[in-house]
Structure 1
Amino acid sequence: MTSGLEAALAEASSPSWLRRARAGRDLASDLPEAADALVGLLLDAEDTAVTRQTAEALARVGSVAAVRLIALAVAEAYDHQADWLQTGLHDALVGPDGVVGGVLDVAAICGQLARDPEEAVRRGAAEVSEWMDDTDC
């Protein structure tokens, strides 16, 4: 029988955007085992919903490892993808009443990532920090 992680990893390469989006949500808590698959989902070339939902799920996890993957994807994303990464982060940070919540401290994590050994992560974290300074996320 297939484990939940194995099943979600298989879904990450599904031709169905719904399955890939579900995989992004399911794999967000499986770091570091699912890191490569998650970066692929964050940079999904087929459907922006996959990008958005995976970014939201990782932002909700709120760990340094999760935000690091978002930063890495931001550094590699083209403009349209970056917009959807930002939207996914916004979705995670804004509560149902439209108020930015204090639960997730993505800006503080980006501050830590500013010293990451990988240049792409530092660059992506700087961009995410700029988003955090923006009132719309």
Structure 2
Amino acid sequence: MTSGLERALAEASSPSWTQRVRAGRDLASFADVPEAAEALVGLLLDAEDTAVTRQTAKALARVGTVAAIRLIALAVAEADDNRADWLQAGVHDALVGPDGAPDIAAACGKLARDPEEAVRRGAADISVWTGDTRC
């Protein structure tokens, strides 16, 4: 593992919300790495601070890969209504940011055929958030 990935994985379990936010941003580009994916889902569902949830969702949405959006979908499927609102806010932040986000709807379209029902359900919710109801 690279030292940056190792540092971010360590920060993901920090008691400091600011370090967990940084970990979410730093780990987003590693969404396809199993250790990072596990940590990212934990950050998306962070029980301590909604800023961690929102910023991690934003970072993953900006990455926009199927692997990144899949993690948001998994979190959406597990989240209570309050946490889902913060996940939605993070996705929205990425969509309206100065650089926008990759085609999240295209990733959701691929996830609509995921073998895991929770992923399909979460991807459908994300599609609605983006204004694309094809999924």
Amino acid at match of 1:67: I
**Alignment map for 1:12-51 (pairs within 5 Å):** 12-33=12-33, 34-51=36-53
Amino acid at match of 1:62: G
CA-based RMSD:
1.6
Describe the superposition over 1:77-117 as per-residue Cα deviations: whole angstroms up to 9, x where unpaired: 01111000000001101034xxx94x521112111101000
**Residue of 78, 81, 88 corresponding to 1:79:** 81
> What does residue 118 of structure 1 align with?
116
Offset at residue 31 of structure 1 (A)? 2.5
Structure 1: which 4+ aligned runs deviate by more than 6 Å? none
> What does residue 104 of structure 2 align with?
106
Describe the superposition over 1:19-51 as per-residue Cα deviations: whole angstroms up to 9, x where unpaired: 000000000011322000000000000000000
- How much identity, in percent, do the aligned residues show? 78
Amino acid at match of 2:113: R
Amino acid at match of 1:104: P
Q: Secondary structure at the match of 2:29?
A: coil
Segments of structure 2 that go 5 or more residues without pairing to the other structure are none
Inter-partner Cα distance in structure 1 for 2:3 and 2:129: 37
Inter-partner Cα distance in structure 2 for 1:54 and 1:120: 19
Segments of structure 1 that go 5 or more residues without pairing to the other structure are none
Amino acid at match of 1:38: L
Partners of 2:88 and 2:129 within 8 A in 1: yes
The count of corresponding residues between Structure 1 and Structure 2 is 129
Inter-partner Cα distance in structure 2 for 1:126 and 1:31: 20
